[in-house]
Amino acid sequence: MNTNSNTYTIIYASVMVIIVAFLLAFVSSALKPMQDANVAIDKKSQILASLNIRDLEKSEIEAKYDAVITCDPIIKADGAVVNEGAAKDEASFVLDSKEVNDENMPLYIANVDGATKYVIPVTGRGLWGGLWGYIALNEDCQSVYGAYMSHASETAGLGALLVEPWFHDRFLGKKLFKEDGKVALTVVKSGAVKDENYEVDGLTGATLTTKGVAAMVQEGLQKYIGFINSKTAAQQAAPEAACTESQACEKTEE
C-alpha cells in the first residue's frame, strides 16, 4: 500500500483521532466519580485545616468533618439564610465559585470543643494565579480562630510558602475591626508589622503574593460584614448564652 498518498494520510489521521477521542472520553467518564470524591475530601481537609485541625489521615477526614461542622448554610449579604445546609456538604460545600454573589454566599458553621466557629471562604489573585482560603472566626466574629490558604501557581519557595501551616498560624488571634467598622485585618510586607493586633507578617521575598493575600482577606471578609455585624450584635446582647450545635444553626436562620 502506498502510505504516502494524500487519501491514505487523511483517512489515517481521521481514524486515529476518532479512536483516541473515544478512548479518552471513556477513561474520563469511568474515573470521574473517584476524582470527584478526592476533590471533595481535599476540600474538607482544607476547611478542617482552617479550624486548626491538620495532618489527618485521608480516611479520618470525612468522619472528622462530619463531627466538627454543624451545617454549611448559604446566606445573603445581610446575614439572612437562603439554604440551611443541614446536610453539611450539600449547600455551601457544592456552591460553585461562579455562582457566588450577594444573594448566594457560602459559609460553614463549626463546633470545636463546644464553641461555635464561623468559617468564611475567600478567594483572590496572587502574582501568577488564583488564591483561595478559609478564615475561621470566633463566635463573636471579632477575631480570627484559624486560617487556611492555598494557591494555583505562586513561585515555588517564595509565594508558594503561603500554604505552610506556620504562615497560617500568623493569623491566629488577630482582630478584625477597628472603630470605623471596616475590616482592619491585613497582611503587610515581611518585617513591617506596626500593629500586632491587626497586621499579619507577610512572606519574605513574595511582596506581590503577600499583597494578593491581604486583598483576598480584606475583600473576602468585607463581603460578610452584614453577617458579621449581626453575629457580633447577638453575642453582645446575650454574652453568656451557651451555644449548642442546634442553636448555632437556628441563629443563622433568624
Partner 1 sequence: MGKLFSKENIAAFSNPLNLDNPVVVQVLGICSALAVTSQLEPAIVMGLSVTAITAFANVIISLIRKTIPNRIRIIVQLVVVAALVTIVSEVLKAFAYDVSVQLSVYVGLIITNCILMGRLEAFAMQNGPWASFLDGIGNGLGYAVILVVVGFVRELLGAGTVLGIQVVPDALYEMGYMNNGMMTMPAMSLIIVGCVIWAHRAYNDKK
Site residues for partner 1 per CB under 8 A: 3-4, 8-9, 12-13, 16-17, 20, 23-24, 27-28, 31, 34-35, 38-39, 41-42, 153, 156-157
Please say which residue, 97 or 153, places its beta carbon nearer to partner 1: 153
Beta strand pairing status for 186-188 and 199-201? parallel
Contacts of 144 by beta carbon, 8 Å cutoff, 6+ apart: 135, 136, 137, 138, 171, 172, 173, 174, 175, 176, 185
Q: How far is the CB of 157 from partner 1 (least distance, A)?
A: 4
Identify the helix (H) or strand (E) that includes residue 188.
strand 186-188
Cβ distance to partner 1 smaller for residue 75 or 160:
160
Q: Which is nearer to partner 1, 16 or 86 (CB)?
A: 16
Measured distance CA(199)–CA(144) in Å, rounded: 12
Q: Minimum distance between the CB of residue 37 and partner 1, rounded to whole angstroms? A: 9
* DSSP track, 203-249: -TT-HHHHHHHHHHHHHHHHTTHHHHHHHHHHHHHSTT----HHHHH
**Shortest separation between residue 15's beta carbon and partner 1, angstroms:** 10
Quick one: 163 or 193, whose CB is closer to partner 1? 163
Alpha helix positions (H), the chain: 6-50, 58-68, 165-168, 207-222, 225-237, 245-253
Q: Which is nearer to partner 1, 19 or 86 (CB)?
A: 19
Q: Are strands 115-125 and 130-137 parallel, antiparallel or unpaired?
A: antiparallel
Q: Where are the alpha helices (DSSP H) in 91-206?
A: 165-168
User: What is the closest distance, in whole angstroms, from the C-beta atom of residue 189 to partner 1 in the complex?
Assistant: 18
In angstroms, rounded to a whole number, what is the distance separating the alpha carbons of residues 49 and 199? Answer: 21
Closest approach, Cβ 176 to partner 1, in A, equals 31
Nearer to partner 1, 181 or 205 (CB): 205
* Closest separation in Å from C-beta 74 to partner 1: 26
